[in-house]
Amino acid sequence: MELIYPVSKFLQSLTLRAFADWKVTGRENVPPMGGLIIVANHRSNFDPSLLSTSIPRRVVFVAKKGVFKGPLATWFLRSYGAFPLDTEGFDIRANRWAIRHLERDQAVMIFPEGTRSRGGMNKARPGVARLALMTQAPLLPVGITGTARLGTPLRVFNPTGKIRVNIGTAFSLPTIEGKPSDAVMDSLTDMIMQRIALLLPAAYRGTYGIKASRAATADESSPSA
């Protein structure tokens, strides 16, 4: 049902305003149209609903297939825009699903870490970089803080705490001729994750803390155009 997404987004915005200290910065950075890959750090099952509510575009996303439990949950998640992802390896079906939506100029949300991080950011998987290379879609980095304690799905009804969504500037990966090596894919994945890390406090950056700090220093020292 087409009403599921806008109604859920509206109700979630009400609960966030009522129960949480919720703030979104950088909404003006979201491209208003065209295919877009939204990438963010991942601390909670609440993150997809939070991003869908915080970003001023219709968003679809992949979610681990384990949350698609029973016909009611499956119906709601699919109506909301979710697609089941097999996290045990490269999921061809999920990749094709994402490509189709990007070709239709839609925004696809992906958490590159593949699972929730308990502390700082974990090492990301190369799937999102592969998707960006295949589609040439721009990426929009987003940093999320304050959701770590919102662990259960029921917290969508009562989100509390200081929740921040920091939306960065969209960027594109460089064009790669031929089939990229594993080393190149790792480098591109790091590039994506560093963009996310720069939107987060240092304590959240984990694996990408030092690299993000170096990237920020390099950007600051570069001559202005």
Residue 101: which pLDDT band, with cuts at 50, 70 and 90? very high
Mean pLDDT over the full length of the chain: 88
Residue 225: which pLDDT band, with cuts at 50, 70 and 90? very low
Looking at the predicted structure, is the pLDDT value of residue 221 above 90? no
Q: What angle do CA 133, 134, 137 make, to 5 degrees?
A: 70
Sheet containing 59-64, strands listed edge to edge, beginning at the edge strand earlier in sequence: 20-25, 161-167, 139-145, 36-40, 107-110, 59-64, 82-85
Cα–Cα dist 17/40, whole Å:
22
Residue 215: which pLDDT band, with cuts at 50, 70 and 90? low
pLDDT of residue 117: 83
Cα–Cα dist 45/147, whole Å:
9
Q: What is the pTM of this model?
A: 0.88
Using CA atoms, how far residue 80 sits from 56, 58, 73, 77, 83, in Å, is 15, 10, 10, 5, 9
pLDDT of residue 68: 76
Selection from 64-68, 82-86, 197-201 with the highest mean pLDDT: 197-201
101 vs 210, higher pLDDT? 101
Instruction: Tell me what the mean pLDDT of segment 71-77 comes to.
Output: 85
Instruction: Tell me what the mean pLDDT of segment 167-174 comes to.
Output: 96
Using CA atoms, how far residue 148 sits from 11, 43, 59, 153, 155, in Å, is 21, 5, 22, 12, 11
